[in-house]
Amino acid sequence: MKTFIEATEDYLQIADKPKTIREIYSKIKDEIGEHPGDPYVTLLSF
């Protein structure tokens, strides 16, 4: 299973336009399973 950051990086590489944090998380949440903590804080710190 990919980490949250790995899944985010992979998704953004194929995204056709800039995405919001909400859009990113909605696309990768099935791939990463349950994320411990707040995904918004994680992506904002990245």
- C-alpha count within 13 angstroms, C-beta hemisphere, residue 25: 14
pLDDT at 46 over 70: no
Quickly state the pLDDT bin for 35 (edges 50, 70, 90).
Answer: low
- Please name the amino acid found at residue 38: D
Q: What does the H/E/C string look like for the chain?
A: CCCHHHHHHHHHHHCCCCCCHHHHHHHHHHHHCCCCCCHHHHHHHC
* CA–CA gap between residue 34 and residue 18 (Å, rounded): 24
List pLDDT tens digits, range 17-33: 988 888 888 888 877 87
What are φ and ψ of residue 41, in 5° steps?
Answer: -65, -40
Q: Percentage of residues in the chain with pLDDT exceeding 90? A: 15
Mean pLDDT across the chain:
81
